[in-house]
Structure 1
C-alpha cells in the first residue's frame, strides 16, 4: 500500500522552476530516499510563513488530499521571523506555536502522522568563525517546545545542518548555497550570494540529513516510515 508524505514548508524545501535554477529545495531530493511505497508530495512554497500558508488555504488543500496513514512534514521559521512584514511575521512564543499546532491537529484529524522539522539553518558564521546559534532566530527552539508539548515527532534539522556546515567549515560550506559570480549563470547575470537557499549539492545533502534523522528517530509513529527508507545511513 502506498502512503503520501506531504511537505508543508517554505523556499528552503520548495520545488524550484527553471528560472530559479541552480537554486534547489531539499524537498526535491527526498523521494530518492524512499521506495515506491512512499510518494513525496512537496507542497512547500517560496516565501511562506506558517501564517501565510494557512491564510492562503494551503493546509486545507493538503487536508483535502490527505489519507489515513499519510505523513505531513512541517518546516517553517525563515519567513515567520520577518518582523518588518506583518503579513508573514509570527511571534515565536505566540502565533508561531499556535499555527504549528493547527498543522499538527489537521494531520491527526485526517488520521495522518504530523512530523515537525526544525528550520534548516542559514549559513551564518560569526566574526570569530563560529556558527550563529540564532541563524533562524528563536524559531527552532520554539518548534522543539511545541513538539514536546504535543508529543509530536521532531527531526532536528537545524542542529543537523549546523553540524554539517561546521564540519565543512566556513569556506567549503559555501558550496551548499547559491554563490555565483557575475555573468556565470543566465538566471543571475549580476551574480548572487545567498546563504539561505541551496545549490543542487546543498539540497541533496539536506535531504540526506532529513533521511538520516528519520532513520535515527525512535518515535513510534515513525517506525513504519523508517521501514520504507532505502540506502545507507550514518
Structure 2
C-alpha cells in the first residue's frame, strides 16, 4: 500500500473489542478505533495498537509504541487518546508524567516525519 497509515495509540475507548454472537445491543460495544476504517477508502490503512488499561507510560513500556516507531513513515498519522487510566495514577496526572510522556511522543513522531493528533 502506498497511501498513508493512521496509527492509533490508546486505551479501551479506542481498542478493538470482540464481537458477540448473537448480537445483544445492551452488551456489545467497541472502541472508536474499531469503527474508524469505515470512514476511509482503501487508500488509507488503519493500524490500531490500543489496548484496555493502558496509560501513556505503559504503552511505551509494554512495547506497543515500538511498533509504531518502527513502521511509521513521513505522511502517516498517529492518533493518541490516553488519560482515562493516567488520571488514576499519582505520577501520571495532567501536571506530572502524563504531560511529559505526551511531549516525548510528539517529539519522536515529529522526528519521523509523521503527523500526530490528540
CA–CA distance in structure 2, aligned partners of residues 81 and 69 of structure 1: 31
Please state how far the C-alpha of 1:17 moved relative to its aligned partner.
2.2
Please tell me whether the aligned partners of residues 74 and 103 of structure 1 are also in contact (alpha carbons under 8 angstroms): no
Partner residue, 2:10: 9
Q: Let me know the Cα RMSD of the aligned residues.
A: 1.6
1:105 partner SS? helix
Which blocks of at least 5 consecutive residues in structure 2 are unaligned? Answer: 21-26
Partner residue, 2:116: 114
Which blocks of at least 5 consecutive residues in structure 1 are unaligned? Answer: 117-234
**Normalised TM-score (structure 1):** 0.45
CA–CA distance in structure 1, aligned partners of residues 105 and 19 of structure 2: 30
CA–CA distance in structure 1, aligned partners of residues 29 and 43 of structure 2: 28
Query: How many aligned residue pairs are there?
Result: 111
Structure 1 or 2, whichever has the larger Rg, is: 1
1:30 partner SS? helix
Is residue 2:83 matched to residue 1:96? no
Pick from 65, 68, 74: which aligns with 1:62? 68
For residues 176-195 of structure 1, what are the structure 2 equivalents within 5 Å?
none
Please state how far the C-alpha of 1:18 moved relative to its aligned partner.
4.1
Please state how far the C-alpha of 1:26 moved relative to its aligned partner.
0.7
Partner residue, 1:29: 35
